[in-house]
A and B are shown apart, each in its own frame.
Chain A
Amino acid sequence: AQSVTQLGSHVSVSEGALVLLRCNYSSSVPPYLFWYVQYPNQGLQLLLKYTTGATLVKGINGFEAEFKKSETSFHLTKPSAHMSDAAEYFCAVSKPGTSGSRLTFGEGTQLTVNP
């Protein structure tokens, strides 16, 4: 079975500061990894994903994440936070293969950006 742990249900940063949202996973096989963002009363928008290849993945809105197999981590970062980054962020994992692509989500991290 797969699982995802997001450390810190709430993260608060100042505008312009570094954003670091932590995600660790558990999987019996090398997984596919995703970060999604959710604004209030909206669905999820994909920020970035890792499937294979380069372990540093760049996504939309200046976000990036690095897959570290030895640490079973996929932390999300952004060098400089913007007020519009305030939202809920979800890390998710799926098992590679042709069947399913069933996602397992972490509990989410609420990001607050202070002026």
Chain B
Amino acid sequence: GAVVSQHPSRVICKSGTSVKIECRSLDFQATTMFWYRQFPKKSLMLMATSNEGSKATYEQGVEKDKFLINHASLTLSTLTVTSAHPEDSSFYICSARELSSGSYEQYFGPGTRLTVT
């Protein structure tokens, strides 16, 4: 149980285009989903926290107009990188917290490797 998927696993896009990354909880309902960014050989940096049906809360220094987050249902959150540039190239990981268990555990997706050329 508690499986989180991400799609796509890898994406290459041209500078100036937008890219959407999906995060799904496959076998549970997630009240809260988190989006992280990980640079090579580095730790995970929390970008934003999204709650179903409400606006995402962004961490300091993260541009909300550039990284659009939508959490339209209890099983799906999307991250759209708008007008992507090479410096946005990174590994993006989502996680989800289960609704009913009372657990504070986050279940992580497998990540999406974004390369902007």
With both beta carbons as reference points, the residue of chain A lying nearest to B93 in the complex is identified as A43
CB-based contact A100/B105 at 8 Å? no
Chain B interface residue number, banded: 20 to 34
Chain A interface residue number, banded: 20 to 34
CB-based contact B46/A90 at 8 Å? no
A-B contact count (CB 8 A): 50
CB-based contact B111/A32 at 8 Å? no
Query: Given known contacts A43-B110, A43-B111, is B46 in contact with A102 (CB within 8 Å)?
Result: yes
CB-based contact B42/A100 at 8 Å? no
In Å, the complex CA distance between A42 and B76 comes to 20
Task: Tell me whether A45 is interfacial, beta carbon within 8 Å.
Answer: yes
CB-based contact B49/A102 at 8 Å? yes
**Which of A11-19, A72-80, A105-113 is the contact stretch?**
A105-113
A64-115 contacts to B (CB < 8 Å): 90, 94, 96, 100-103, 105-108, 110
Query: Given known contacts A41-B113, A106-B43, is B108 in contact with A101 (CB within 8 Å)?
Result: no
CB-based contact B104/A51 at 8 Å? yes
Binding site for A on B (CB under 8 A): 4, 6, 32, 34, 41-44, 46, 49, 91, 93, 95, 97, 104-111, 113
Nearest 7 CB-CB pairings of A with B: A43-B108, A101-B104, A44-B108, A43-B110, A105-B43, A43-B111, A107-B43
Other A-B pairs beyond A32-B104, A102-B34, A103-B46, 10, CB < 8 Å: A41-B111, A41-B113, A43-B111, A44-B108, A45-B108, A51-B104, A101-B97, A103-B44, A103-B95, A107-B43
Binding site for B on A (CB under 8 A): 32, 34, 36, 41-46, 49, 51, 90, 94, 96, 100-103, 105-108, 110
